[in-house]
Amino acid sequence: MSVKIAAQFKKDTRPLNGLESIADDLIKEPHRRWFIIAEVENRRTVIDHSDGDAESPTVNLVHIEPMLSGAGEDTIRKMLKAAYKARTGNDTVEPAPTLFDGDPPPADDTAPEVPHEPVEEEPPFDPDAPVSERKGDDWLDDGKPPAAKKARAKS
């Protein structure tokens, strides 16, 4: 079973999105990991009848706050490790891989040349070209699309 996470805050609950308070820091330090405290509720449960009636909940973030650096990080790390051990029985928590693990991509000047097929250019846009393969008389008796007939009627 998997659990999906919905994280969009509405206008009236936006003050409960504490991540907005560190938005600038998230941009300045894109490789950093952050500890957060969050409260969730079950938003909906989907039943997949093609998979033996498997149920899959989607949780909604109700309140989320970042934990700022400092002495609290060690306490949070210990709490996270204890909760993981209680749930899995595993005493060792390996850090999850990040988006930035592995070798960084080469700089543009050292990137290998990648052969590519030539791309055919699209013909220029023709505003007078038909929008549909349908013949004009399929639209209306006079062969004009509905918008043109309305415009003509107003003038």
pLDDT in tens, 25-60: 999 999 888 899 999 999 999 988 888 888 999 999
In this structure, are residues 33 and 2 in contact, taking their beta carbons and an 8 Å threshold? no
pLDDT at 114 over 70: no
**What number is the average pLDDT over the span 70-96?**
84
Give tens-digit pLDDT for 13-31. Answer: 999 999 999 999 999 999 8
Q: What are phi and psi of 14, to 5 degrees?
A: -55, -35
Residue 94 lies in a domain: yes
- Domain holding 21, by residue range, is 4-103
Q: Residue 16: CB partners within 8 Å, gap ≥ 6?
A: 9, 62, 63, 64
Residue 85 lies in a domain: yes
Residue 22 lies in a domain: yes
Residue 118 lies in a domain: no
Give percent of the chain above pLDDT 70. 62
Q: Quick one: pLDDT at residue 59?
A: 92
Residue 114 lies in a domain: no
Query: Into how many domains does the chain fold?
Result: 1
In this structure, are residues 3 and 57 in contact, taking their beta carbons and an 8 Å threshold? yes
Residue 136 lies in a domain: no
Average confidence score pLDDT of the chain? 77
Q: Quick one: pLDDT at residue 76?
A: 86
Is this model's pTM higher than 0.75 or not?
no
